Structure 1
Amino acid sequence: MAAVSKLFTIGIILLSITAGLISYRFLGELSKEKKKKHMEELISQLINFVIFIWLAKILLNISLFISDPLVVLAYPAGSDAFYLAVVFSASQLFYKSRQGHRDMLSFMDAFVHTFLVASFVYEFIQLVWNGDTYAFGYLSVLITLLAVYILIHGYVKTEILLMVMLIGWTAGMILLSRLQPFVSVFGYLMEEWFILLFFMTSLMVLIFCQRKKGY
């Protein structure tokens, strides 16, 4: 029964991410070639993220993995593994950006679009299908961010848009963490310290990208 529940959760996440990618494919304002390139990069990064979660799960349970690897591999990854996977992914993206392998601002815009839509679909399913009332708070934050994103996209510079989204998401998550017993992203609990760390790291990346492009 637990295995079926886990597979169902994974299915919802995959459905949500697919919806986010489809939304970007049809609603993104870039050329078809650029959108295709960004979608390929997003899918590649998603695959890497899954690998990083597995790697993080092993590193966080290294002693148990050495004695009984199947137990670690079969056990679902927790929030700590998610946090570490985010760090790995951010480091990889930052390295590629410094090496000139990726237009970071353009990629982050594609990521924000996909992430917001995917998160909205996921939380909507949690609220309507699973009856998770705590999903309503995050769903409200996502609706607000999506509305702002649609309204100002194309009217402001990409870095300003990303800054607004980052500040809005961080503020919304911290507010929810104070009002609710917990707040989560795709089922992973978000601690306030991680939200602030994510904000500071993303802010530094944005500043680096602005300077690199000569803004």
Structure 2
Amino acid sequence: MPSAWLIGPLVIKSELVILLASFIVGIIFFRTISSYSKITTKQKTDEVINLLIVFVLALWIGKILTNFSTFITDPISILAYPSDSAAFYIANILSVIYVQIKTKRAYHQVIALLYAFLIVFFTASFTYGFIQLIAGTAAFSLPYLGLLLLLLILFVLQQDKLAKEKLVLIGLVTWSIGQWLLSIFSETTVFQFYLSHWFYGAISLAVILLCIYRKRVKK
């Protein structure tokens, strides 16, 4: 597979094409297996797409902030800079803020959005990794593919048996702890981003604390 395609003056990287295709597969998969009504499924799909757009914009903000001196002296050159893990962390923080504002901090709305997003994210990640593995364009962790497949099977088989809240929390904890364990033995990635083990640990801790808090609130 070529690393990029030239379309006139545009250079389109194959990695970007694979990434876009992976998320399209993720969205189609969610719409296919969704236990929601057609109207609700479409609404959740739109919300996930909006969140992805916000994340991409936040990633650009993160790239500008992490290369601010370059942006001040030569703004156009920032286009050539790849987004790194620092930009990814910033984009995550900004996306969380967006979700909080969008859902007006209503817990059930956050869970509903995360449920749809996780199915899309896990499917897109698996598709992306599988294509990269088959094409031989990048090293990709087979254990991570196994983890993603396990999570997808869990969501498909248990979506009508477990509450959405439980599935989301189990999914987040399993993914983050799984990635944390894998990061002990080798570098771990989320798409093209190489992330630190503390990122996965932070997600695990946040979800565990949320579970404890929710149990106390219910009492």
Q: TM-score, normalised by structure 1?
A: 0.88
Instruction: Find out whether 1:183 has 2:188 as its counterpart.
Output: yes
CA contact (8 A) 2:169 2:207 kept: no
The 1:11–1:131 alpha-carbon spacing in structure 2 relative to 1, beyond 3 Å, is closer
Structure 2 residue corresponding to 1:111, chosen from 117, 121, 130:
117
The share of aligned pairs that are identical, in percent, is 32
Secondary structure of 1:184's aligned partner = strand
8 Å Cα contact 2:29/2:123 also seen in 1: yes
Matched, 1:198 2:203: yes
Paired residues, number: 212
Cα shift readout 1:146-171 (whole Å, capped 9, x = no counterpart) = 12222222111111111111111012
Matches within 5 A, 1:81-96: 81-96=87-102
CA offsets per residue over residues 3-59 of structure 1, 9 Å max, x none?
Answer: 658621111110000000001111111000001001111111111111101111111
Going by fraction, where is strand more abundant, 1 or 2? 2
Is 1:77 aligned with 2:73?
Answer: no
TM-score, normalised relative to structure 2: 0.87
- Of the three residues 43, 47, 65, the one matched with 2:49 is 43
Question: Alpha-carbon deviation of 1:204?
Answer: 5.5
CA, structure 1 residues 166+100, in 2 after alignment: closer, same or farther (shift >3 Å)?
closer
C-alpha distance in 2 between matches for 1:168 and 1:99: 24
| C-alpha distance in structure 1 between counterparts of 2:150 and 2:135, whole Å | 22
Q: 1:3, 1:66 → 2: CA distance?
A: 29
Query: Is 1:151 the equivalent of 2:168?
Result: no
1:90 and 1:204 map into 2 onto residues whose CA distance is 17
Distance 1:31 1:204, change over 3 A: farther
Write the distance in 1 (CA, Å) between the matches of 2:119 and 2:212: 20
Alpha-carbon distance in structure 2 between the residues aligned to 1:8 and 1:131: 9
Name the CA distance, whole Å, in 1 between partners of 2:12 and 2:143. Answer: 24
Q: What are the residue-to-residue correspondences of 1:20-59 with 2, within 5 Å?
A: 20-59=26-65
Which consecutive residues of structure 2, in runs of 5 or more, have no partner in the other structure?
Answer: 6-10
1:201 & 1:95 partners in 2: Cα distance?
19
SS of the equivalent of 1:189 reads strand
Q: CA RMSD in A?
A: 2.5
SS in 2 for 1:30: coil
